[in-house]
Amino acid sequence: MDISSLKQQFTAELAAAASEAELRALRDKYLARKGGLVSALLKHVASAPADVRPALGRQANELKQHIDAQVGERLAEASARRPAADAVDVTLPGRDPLIGHRHPLTLLRDRIESFFLRQGFLIVEGPELEDDYHNFEALNMPAEHPARDMQDTLYLASPVTSATGTPATLLRTHTSGMQVRYMERYPPPVRLIAPGRVYRRDNLDLTHTPMFTQVEGLVVGDDVTLADLKGTLVAFAHDLFGPDRGTRFRPSFFPYTEPSAELDITCASCGGSGCAMCKQTGWVEVLGSGMVHPAVFEAVGYDPERYTGFAFGVGIERLALLKWGVEDIRLFYENDLRFLEQFPL
């Protein structure tokens, strides 16, 4: 093949070469010391007749330089176009930053507080380290009272001074002691909720944690009735679980209320027909409540002949299990983000 058609062939192949790899292969094809087309041509020149040898040699060398320069130029262009390893590709879709949110139990507590604030309730808080008097005795549970066994208590090895300045001997088993603490200090009327942590000597299982959260409620006035209790708590249940849920009050027993009742709602899993979730009853328990026992009023110096009131206590974790259909209470304390992220604001 003559030199000018070799050059033409190269020009066409250069135009077709798209990638850096193709450009390098093209250079090898022509210039590789072994087997390159131009290299072979140069060897040929040595055996050409003496009169044409110098001209042939010059042309072949020019072609060699031409190919080297052309491929070199294209390679330089290609490498200038290639993005640097750390370059930002602004055409890629953005990545959302991870934004935290409040824990589901906090969300639920806020929701409960907001309901009762709208009903004119006050929110009060009190000590988790408590004394026997406020946790039991003033709630109509004197020493040796069998109702103390309803809750397995965690006692302190030795008394410590609580936030209130009095010696505490136990971790409160419920928030009901806040009824006593508030009434001791303030006269009627009363309309409060007292949210907070409580502790019991329970082993961890699907429905128990040794620490959990309750909201206590107390309403006292001149003529507070059972109808007020029912109206308030049914409205609360409907606010939280939706107005279509069935509700019922079932007689119960608590030493600090008489009469006492537990509030049930229809089971969300079966809609009331009975299933494993509700032990075939169609109902699930939501909270305990009742009319304040006269003995409690006497303990705090309220006149039981003049005042009446209702009280209730509800577990936030229990509400969370019911509301969101969660089957294991421990999930709320394991802080696995894959779980916690399922409860948006």
Going by C-alpha positions, the residue among 22, 53, 60, 58 that lies closest to residue 38 is 60
Residue pair 188/221 in contact (Cβ under 8 Å)? The answer is yes
Contacts made by residues 3-8, CB under 8 angstroms, sequence distance 24+: 3/41, 3/56, 3/59, 3/60, 3/63, 6/37, 6/38, 6/41, 6/63, 7/63, 7/66
Instruction: Report in angstroms how near the CB of residue 288 gets to ligand DAH at its nearest.
Output: 3
Report if residue 249 touches ligand DAH, rule: CB under 6 A. no
Report if residue 121 touches ligand DAH, rule: CB under 6 A. no
Could you say which residues in the range 23-62 bind ligand DAH, by CB under 6 A? none
Helix (H, G, I), strand (E, B) or coil at 100: coil
Instruction: Report in angstroms how near the CB of residue 216 gets to ligand DAH at its nearest.
Output: 6
Report if residue 196 touches ligand DAH, rule: CB under 6 A. no
Provide the angle, in degrees to the nearest 10, between the axes of the packed helices 104-118 and 316-324.
100
Question: Distance (Å, rounded) from C-alpha 169 to C-alpha 153?
Answer: 10
Q: Which helix (H) or strand (E) holds 240?
A: helix 226-241
Instruction: Report in angstroms how near the CB of residue 262 gets to ligand DAH at its nearest.
Output: 8
Write each residue from 293 to 312 as x if it is in contact with ligand DAH (CB under 6 A), else as -, in one continuous string: ------------------xx
Report if residue 135 touches ligand DAH, rule: CB under 6 A. no
Residues 254, 283, 297, 332: which binds ligand DAH (CB under 6 A)?
A: 254
Helix (H, G, I), strand (E, B) or coil at 245: coil
Report if residue 174 touches ligand DAH, rule: CB under 6 A. yes
Instruction: Report in angstroms how near the CB of residue 290 gets to ligand DAH at its nearest.
Output: 4
Instruction: Report in angstroms how near the CB of residue 176 gets to ligand DAH at its nearest.
Output: 4
Going by C-alpha positions, the residue among 84, 73, 59 that lies closest to residue 27 is 73
Indicate the DSSP class of residue 139: G
Report if residue 289 touches ligand DAH, rule: CB under 6 A. yes
Report if residue 257 touches ligand DAH, rule: CB under 6 A. yes
Going by C-alpha positions, the residue among 227, 297, 289, 284 that lies closest to residue 253 is 289
Q: Which stretch binds ligand DAH (CB under 6 A): 243-251, 264-272, 283-291, 324-332?
A: 283-291
Token pair listed for 188 = 């009627």
Residue pair 229/216 in contact (Cβ under 8 Å)? The answer is no
Q: Which stretch binds ligand DAH (CB under 6 A): 20-28, 186-194, 265-273, 282-290?
A: 282-290
Instruction: Report in angstroms how near the CB of residue 289 gets to ligand DAH at its nearest.
Output: 5
Report if residue 116 touches ligand DAH, rule: CB under 6 A. no
Instruction: Report in angstroms how near the CB of residue 254 gets to ligand DAH at its nearest.
Output: 4
Positions touching ligand DAH (CB under 6 A) are 174, 176, 216, 254, 257, 288-290, 311-313
